[in-house]
Amino acid sequence: MFIVYGRGNFARKIVTQQELGINPPNPDIKYFEFIQEYFHLFWIPFIGTDKGWYVRKKDDKLYHVSPQREAELVRIGGNPKMSLWAYTGSLILIAAMMVVIINMIVVKIEESYSRYLSDKQKEEERDQKWERIQHATLNDYYMLFWDGRKAAKVIAIKGDSLRLSVMRNFFPERPDTADVLTEFAEPAAERDSLWFSKQKLKGMLKGEESKWLEEIMTVTGGELKHYLSVKTEGYGPGYILYKVCTKNSVKILDMNDSLHNIKFSEPFPIILGRGGIALFQVKGDDAESSYRFDLFCEDIAGKKFTYRVNESIKKADHH
């Protein structure tokens, strides 16, 4: 790349021969100029180098004046200070550097403030988790991390210590509560039973000893619903196929179908994970039949509840 640089000048003031009282005027002289010299880079003035009074002659060139003439010119035209215009490039460069520095300072301040807000939020979250650890209840679920991410369930509380049932299998990403509950609903899952002091768990909130307590989960009760699935064709004459669905993990233990009109697709107990479905058929040969029965269920926290199915079947429902 070719770099253009060199020296330049511009006139600050002009004094004529008449103003100096030169009479008759010298025909070889056009006028007198106060010249500001500068160093330029790509034609942009960067540094003022010199200044003084010169005479511009008819050949349009500048020539030095005698000390006596210079004194007269200073008396009439003055001796201006170095022009800022001669430092245009330097001023632009300084301004650009100041903009960059100010921008860096602003970015640092914003980053520092963001870290402050993030640290404050994390501290508040740790305080909330510590409060829940201090008031732990059975069937609380913790998401732990060391040698992989694993879920744990509080199965015993003794003084300031908690006994956790820790799953051996790992989760690649943080699961939601329903996924954890579903995993704990599987009886075949391998688990370790470990005691942790509450202070140890508090330290894990900050990752002490490279062990983390990432999350504390709240167990929600089981929810069931049922609805008509399909028409009866292919499922036996006189039967309508229904579905029982669950939002969270639920175990259906039994039912009290005294009239034996209900047929489930699998024997009890039926374990339904999150979004699980169990099929059952309802016998309804008449033009209109009513049926009612109770399902005895247990949610993942061990809480038992009863779900009542109470419906009327019309021929229009399944033709």
| Three-class SS of 127-160 | HHHHHHHHCCCCCCEEEEECCCEEEEEEEEEECC
Give the whole-angstrom CA distance, residue 247 versus residue 176: 13
Cα–Cα dist 247/256, whole Å: 23
Residue 280 pairs in a beta bridge with 242, 264
Question: Domains of the chain, with CATH numbers?
Answer: 5-90 (no CATH), 136-217 (no CATH), 224-317 (2.60.40)
Are the C-beta atoms of 151 and 183 separated by less than 8 Å? yes
214 within 8 A of 249, measured Cβ to Cβ:
no
CA distances in angstroms from 70 to 14, 22, 29, listed in the order given:
13, 14, 15
pLDDT tens digits in sequence order for the chain, 319 residues long: 566 767 777 788 888 888 887 888 888 888 898 888 888 777 777 777 778 888 888 888 888 888 888 888 888 777 777 767 667 777 888 889 999 999 999 999 999 999 999 999 989 999 999 999 999 888 788 888 888 888 888 989 999 999 998 887 777 676 666 667 666 766 656 788 899 999 999 999 988 888 889 888 866 556 677 666 544 444 455 556 677 777 767 888 888 876 667 878 788 888 887 677 888 777 655 444 667 788 888 876 677 888 887 776 554 444 3
Outline where DSSP puts E strands in the chain. 5-15, 29-41, 44-57, 62-64, 141-145, 149-158, 161-167, 191-197, 212-217, 224-230, 239-246, 250-255, 262-264, 270-272, 277-283, 288-299, 304-314
Contacts for 21 with CB less than 8 Å, ≥ 6 apart? none
User: Is 0.75 surpassed by the pTM of this model?
Assistant: no
Can you say how many angstroms the Cα of residue 134 is from the centroid of all Cα atoms in its chain? Answer: 30
Q: Which two tokens stand for residue 226?
A: 């049922």
